[in-house]
Amino acid sequence: MPPQVPPGTTFASTGTWDADLRVGNSSTLAGFDFLITTGPANPTEPCQTPNAAPTVFVNRSQTFNNTSDANSANFAGRAFGTFLTTAAGDVTQSTVACSRIKNGLCVGGFDYITFDDLDSHRRSNVDGTLGSSIHNDAAFDLSLERPHLLGPGNHLGQSGLHMPSIDKDPPTSLMRHSDYQFPGSSLPGISGTSFAAPAVLSVAIQALEYKGLFSQIVSPMVNKAVLLAATRDANADGAVGKFNVWSQNANPSTDPTKDAEDGAGQIKIDAVKAILDGNQFVQIDLADSNFVSCGTLCRNYTVASLTIPNDYKFRTVLAWQSCMINEGDTPMLNNDLDLALNCGSPLQVCGGTTISNTVTSELEMLERPGCTYSRTCSIEIRIKNGASLSACGSTTTERVGVAWRSFTN
């Protein structure tokens, strides 16, 4: 059918009414700029919408071709509050496409075998169209764990995702996958991290709509923390990463014991709802004065105190963003924050402190295994070596998001 809006149409300065989607249909940065532009019309880029509000949610299932493009995406998260998802890439042995993204969410893909058994879901490991890239780009930062988490990217190893096709008559199933293929290929077109990324973005959008537009979920770092807290292992290699904390050094070729191929694991939308229903998330604008001494070279801020029931696992996430003053800046992690779960004296049953303390990551995450006795524990943000909080330009606070949940499966 012909487009409802002819090509070249210029919208009024207030934008369009009742628009559910804005599509930046360009593989260059111009398509991304169209989504986030907030200023007057640019005569050299006539597709931009003059004075439009920045798009809150953006998916980019394509590699940012250079550092400049990636920095523009990072700046959108920092300056405009844009929640950005990017696809990790589909060639298992290749570097992930989002090593350059510091202020967004990198999404890999998992293969779902059965719908009612999450233990059967594993990172897509078929090299090529149906895989999920895991290696970080040495040209950028090997210490960052990538991908962040996994979304649905494939089904049954080879069949791709099932999508509805309304033109099929009964008894033919409406959920089709073979109808959509790359030209000249026998592989299903609807598969891979290019589809996993927008699926995860859909969960982020639903989280905001469910909790309300005026909730703290509107903050991208809070929404990011909620999504990551609502995951489970999808590679049978560790609760979080290869262990129970977010890992540091993510180059499988040099140290395969540390790099997590599935990041935080598979997204679970029911866990997202549980976190939102329990108000188990918070946005904090940290000031240097918020931190208090917790011993030699230790300053912390207590986010929440809570009781973890016996035999319950506990997962918590801290997320913030790299500092950028201008769009052309290189993102810089100006504050090295750590995340701790303090459950009292280590001499007591189910006591002790678990710490996630990476050096260059904008994310900290940990999971405490279930224990025989319930314990009252504190979620704490610590600043590395008791340092002072550094400003980002004229901004003297650090906005962070923290989320947590107790669960049995």
Number of domains in the chain: 2
For residue 268, the tally of other CB atoms under 10 A from its CB is 19
Identify whether residues 311 and 374 lie together within a single domain: yes
348: which 2 tokens?
């007591």
Residue 179 has pLDDT above 60, yes or no: no
Average pLDDT over residues 94-109: 87
What is the domain extent for residue 49?
Answer: 1-55
Least confident of 24-33, 40-49, 223-232: 40-49
pTM (global) more than 0.85: yes
pLDDT value for 2: 42
Segment 242-272, tens digit of pLDDT: 888 887 665 555 665 666 788 899 999 999 9
Residue 152 has pLDDT above 60, yes or no: yes
Identify whether residues 212 and 326 lie together within a single domain: yes
Average pLDDT over residues 16-40: 68
Average pLDDT over residues 70-77: 89
Identify whether residues 29 and 176 lie together within a single domain: no
The C-alpha atoms of residue 142 and residue 16 are separated, in whole angstroms, by 43
The alpha-carbon radius of gyration of the chain (Å, integer) is: 22
Provide the 3-class DSSP secondary structure of residue 44.
Answer: coil
Identify whether residues 343 and 356 lie together within a single domain: yes
Identify whether residues 293 and 375 lie together within a single domain: yes
Identify whether residues 6 and 74 lie together within a single domain: no
Identify whether residues 9 and 80 lie together within a single domain: no
Identify whether residues 135 and 154 lie together within a single domain: yes
Last residue of a domain, one of 19, 35, 55: 55
Identify whether residues 40 and 142 lie together within a single domain: no
Residue 381 has pLDDT above 90, yes or no: yes
Average pLDDT over residues 304-309: 97
Identify whether residues 401 and 309 lie together within a single domain: yes
Identify whether residues 71 and 208 lie together within a single domain: yes
Query: Diameter of the chain by CA atoms?
Result: 71
Last residue of a domain, one of 55, 70, 95: 55
The C-alpha atoms of residue 56 and residue 174 are separated, in whole angstroms, by 32
The C-alpha atoms of residue 154 and residue 98 are separated, in whole angstroms, by 20
The C-alpha atoms of residue 323 and residue 319 are separated, in whole angstroms, by 13
pLDDT value for 243: 84
pLDDT classification of 327: cutoffs 50, 70, 90: confident
Provide the 3-class DSSP secondary structure of residue 202.
Answer: helix
Identify whether residues 38 and 107 lie together within a single domain: no
Amino acid at 295: G
Segment 122-134, tens digit of pLDDT: 999 888 778 898 8
CATH of the domain at 143: 3.40.50
